[in-house]
Amino acid sequence: MKCFILPEAPDPQGLVCLRGKDYHYLARVRRLNPGAVFDVRLPGGEEAALRIKSLDGNCLTGECLFNRSPAGDSLPPIALFLALPKGTKMDLIMRQAAEGGIAEIVPFAAEHSVPKIKDAPEWERKTERWARIIREARQQSGSAVATLVRVPRTAEALFEYWETLKGRYPGILGLLLHQSPLEQGTLHGYLKPVPEFIALAVGPEGGFSPGEVSRFLAAGFKAILLGNTVLRTETAALYGAAAVRTILLENAAWMANNPR
């Protein structure tokens, strides 16, 4: 574990109470005792140090000694608009997205998605499990980005959310990963100047339908072709997000070499 992530923010006195699996891990696995100090991250990504005050019953009470600015980069938020894939692929995508600094994951049912939006409690339970996977991935990788996963929704609800984001971020950019060269724009060109918010739409097995592609383009998304091979949906999500983040991280160097 590179950095322990607190499940909730400290109270006004700077205290937290850790129970359940968190208590077991810290008190039984790592065998930490009162007085021990270790690095943590608050849910929002801020760094802190936690000093154990007491181990009472099944509660570890700790005190946050100090907070610092997040140690992450200053990139704009990147969201994955992720069409629901088959099987357990979502678990892998959640882990990779958290390690890669994705800010938000918005699963939705596309026309070619095998999973459908029917049983709300079932999807809520799955979302809770994905949130646990994300937290574990952030602890292992040390990511300062507080990756958020939304409860899966219909395609209609996804586009409604997109319109909400457009109102919130005038400089938003939507990118549609596609297997055909629908437009002549480049990823570097779309990311210059740097957007305020980036949404990356990734299709399911079989890709997006022609109707869905048309709707994304009508909503303002820019189609992007990454290479000349057809990628699995879990590969496309990682590949696309990594390409965007790499360009943004090296933006200053690209601008210096290509001032125009």
Q: What is the pLDDT of residues 85-132, one digit of tens each?
A: 988 899 999 999 999 999 999 999 999 998 888 777 888 999 999 999
Do 13 and 101 have their domain in common? no
- Helix (H) or strand (E) segment spanning residue 60: strand 59-68
Do 154 and 216 sit in the same domain of this protein?
A: yes
The domain total for the chain is 2
Q: Which among 68, 92, 109 is the end of a domain?
A: 68
What is residue 110's predicted lDDT score, i.e. its pLDDT?
94
If asked whether residues 222 and 111 sit together in one domain, one would say yes
244 and 147 co-located in one domain:
yes
Q: What is the pTM of this model?
A: 0.80
CATH number, domain with residue 113: 3.40.1280.10
Residue 73 lies in a domain: no
Position 32 in a domain: yes
Looking at residue 73, what is its pLDDT? 57
Query: In terms of domains, do 177 and 195 share one?
Result: yes
- Verify that 170 and 90 share a domain, yes or no: yes
The whole domain housing 52 covers 4-68
Say if residue 55's pLDDT is above 80: yes
CATH number of the structural domain spanning residue 26 = 2.40.240.20
Query: Are residues 213 and 132 part of one domain?
Result: yes
Average pLDDT over residues 238-242: 89
Give the tens place of pLDDT for each residue, 126-148. 999 999 999 999 988 888 888 99
Is residue 163 located within the same domain as residue 60?
A: no
Q: Which of 49, 68, 87 is the last residue of a domain?
A: 68
Phi, psi (rounded to 5 degrees) for 121: -60, -35
| DSSP secondary structure letters along 117-167 | S--HHHHHHHHHHHHHHHHHHHHHHT--S--EEPPPEEHHHHHHHHHHHHH
For the chain, what percent of residues have pLDDT higher than 90? Answer: 49
Q: Can you tell me the distance from the alpha carbon of 43 to that of 46, in angstroms, rounded to the nearest whole number?
A: 7
Which residue is it, tokens 């849910």? 43
